[in-house]
Amino acid sequence: MHPVSLLSLVTATHGQLVGTEDRFAKFTRVEIDSRGIRPGDIFWALRGEHHDGHSFLAEARLHGAGLAVVQRDRLAQSQEAWEAGSGQSPRPSLIVVEDTLTALAKFASWYRSQQEGLVIGVTGSFGKTTTREMIHAVLSGTHPGVRSLKNFNNHIGLPLSLLELDQSHEFAVLEMGASAVGEIAMLAEIAQPEVGVITGIGLAHVVGFGSPEQIVLGKGELLEALPATGFAILPGDDPVTRRMADRSSCPVLFVGESDDNHVRATNVRVANQRLTFEVDHVEYEVPATGRHFLRAALSALTIAREIGLTASEIAAGFANFQSAPGRCQVHQIGSWTVIDDTYNANPASMHAACETLRDWQGANKRLLITGDMLELGTHTEQAHVDLGRAAAEARVDGLLVCGTQAEHVVRGALAGGLRPSRLAQCDHLEILLTVLDCVLEPNDVLLVKGSRGMRMERVVQWLREKAKGLEISGQGLAMPQTSASASVFNP
């Protein structure tokens, strides 16, 4: 964060200063977790569902916080804790506001108005983090910039990410998440983006939004927030996102593979954990596993071209791309290739996972391991049936499913033509791991995916522990076939 004076903080938050310690002090960092406080930080006491930051004021002061922002209805408690944490040292000031979360949004919005860097907003039902990382990789090779911290894409995370921007940066790419209409508009009001990217529209968070139509309405709020001098990027091969262009007052650029896109990819290929494609007869290569990375790559390429990067600079940026943890990351665990896509799941990303396995070459067996997709409301059953069909169409060699929706996935897979001998329906993860232990063989490729609440990363951890155990025992991974492994998931 660029240095901000105490008086500017008071003005931006519409707060009241309590204390007189160095009114001309400047601050360069905001922290909401007292454990992460560094000397001189601003401790912003947020009240959450499970924790109240005001309860940690003394700890924050002990760690060296130089200022705290607190709520008026907690002022007495805050002053007492702040003084207790100060000990014998001078007690720094407090800024008192009506609501600390609202004040954080006000401060971040004011701070944004003081910066000249290009702000890029990214939203959609899927692929937000991948698109964010792709844009940052391509642009940061020639232009210093920042992106959203971790998965900070809500009314708390976005302001904190925005505060990472300073005068040395030329851009910020910010992820914007939402589960209800109005939330993207609120985030856009804070971030004031000049470029907007919509990754795609699906059923993610349909319970919160209420219906697919409301998802379109909510995600489109980003387009409405863009200034006439900015531009938007939409997937042009999807009629749903094409229709959203009418809501933008600025130019809209369509990306995709069909002829009527402004930026069109041709000769798209996926092999050896590389996505290769051409745009205007120039070939680009991205170190990514799966054709579904194409939308993110085209969005990044389009922004890069709009701000003046050359084809060679864009290609160099793609080479620096790395998938975020749990987003289709490929790990070699013993002799197994594990595609860790466990961070989250929705119908669109599940179908993309099936396509990734379909295109994988050289595997002994291609195993798809899935948990439930959550928050789909009345669409839940059909979405899981469709997943089973997609797995069958991808001709996976084995489908292991667990969770309350497993029976619907199996029903879809059988209807799609997948043989019963290639299916394992498990009520619990422990049962799934028992089955997996029977069918694993060297050189298998496993793609693991499920909604965040299913914690499917436990499968990946189990595979690591198993590989380590085999190595210690001296068996390597050339496991003798049991009767189970010889009969299950084999022709």
Which CATH number fits the domain that encloses residue 53? Answer: 3.40.1390.10
The reply to whether 255 and 125 lie within a common domain is: yes
The reply to whether 287 and 347 lie within a common domain is: no
pLDDT of 83 higher than 90: no
pLDDT band (50, 70, 90) for residue 219: very high
Q: What is the pLDDT of residue 19?
A: 80
Does residue 398 form part of some domain? yes
Task: Please identify, among 73, 102, 131, the residue that sits at the C-terminal boundary of a domain.
Answer: 102
pLDDT single digits (tens) 147-163: 998 888 999 999 999 99
Task: Please identify, among 78, 102, 126, the residue that sits at the C-terminal boundary of a domain.
Answer: 102
Provide φ and ψ at 173, rounded to 5°: -110, 120
Does residue 55 form part of some domain? yes
* Other CB atoms within 10 A of residue 242 CB: 17
Domain that holds residue 204: 115-319
Say if CB 351 and CB 390 are below 8 A apart. yes
pLDDT single digits (tens) 228-274: 999 999 999 999 999 999 999 999 999 999 999 999 999 999 988 99
pLDDT of 446 higher than 50: yes
- Within 132-264, strands assigned E span 145-147, 171-175, 195-198, 231-235, 252-256, 263-264
Give the chain's domain count. 3
Q: What's the mean pLDDT in 206-234?
A: 95
Helix, strand, coil proportions of the chain in percent (round to 5)?
40, 20, 35
Q: What is the pLDDT of residue 475?
A: 59
pLDDT of 472 higher than 80: no
The reply to whether 152 and 95 lie within a common domain is: no
CATH number of the domain within which 477 lies: 3.90.190.20
pLDDT single digits (tens) 7-16: 999 999 999 9
Q: What is the pLDDT of residue 457?
A: 97
The reply to whether 366 and 230 lie within a common domain is: no
pLDDT of 182 higher than 80: yes
pLDDT band (50, 70, 90) for residue 99: very high
Longest dimension (CA), the chain: 78
pTM here? 0.91
Angstrom distance (rounded) from CA 293 to CA 280: 19
pLDDT of 485 higher than 90: no
Q: What is the pLDDT of residue 35?
A: 94
pLDDT of 423 higher than 90: yes
Angstrom distance (rounded) from CA 112 to CA 92: 26
The reply to whether 309 and 189 lie within a common domain is: yes
Angstrom distance (rounded) from CA 231 to CA 197: 9
Task: Please identify, among 287, 319, 351, the residue that sits at the C-terminal boundary of a domain.
Answer: 319
